[in-house]
Amino acid sequence: MTILVVDDEVSFRLLMQALLTDDGHDVVLAEDGEEAIEKLGDFLFDLVISDIYMPVMDGFKFHKAVRSSAKWANMPILFISAYDDQHTLDVIQNPKIEGFVKKGRPISEIKEWIGYLTSAEEDRNDKYPGSRLGQRPKQF
């Protein structure tokens, strides 16, 4: 599986690259949404893991740009952010946002989301990763 990791923090990008590569994934890195869009033209990705708040083009604008292209309209995007303030939580409640993980959560939670988002929709059990109730978490 080929995953694009988009984050303005170099250390986080490198950490994600190491963890995901150890799991057998091919990982491409981008520092912001604008660079990520350029990378989308060069590779075929199975999934994007993107920070939300970045300079140049943030994750929300990146998501909107990706969804406006028929070529990438169905590519899953997992948002990850250190912020879980009310504004962020309100925005990610959009049903078009596929997933969200707060930075600092165990890597196992990110791996659960990767498995969930890259499985066929008909194979998903409608239980969101990290949700004990099997429903879209209130804070997501």
Q: What pLDDT is attached to residue 46?
A: 93
**pLDDT for the residue numbered 101:** 84
For the chain of 140 residues, list the mean pLDDT of each consecutive stretch of 10: 96 95 96 95 90 90 90 88 73 71 86 87 67 45
Q: How many Å apart are CA 108 and CA 41, to the nearest integer?
A: 30
Amino acid 60: pLDDT: 87
What integer pLDDT is reported at residue 23 of this predicted model? 93
Tokens for 37?
A: 């869009």
Domains and CATH numbers, the chain: 2-123 (3.40.50.2300)
Interaxial angle between packed helices 33-42 and 59-67, expressed in degrees from 0 to 180 and rounded to the nearest 10? 30
- Residue 14: the pLDDT is 96
The residue type of 134 is G
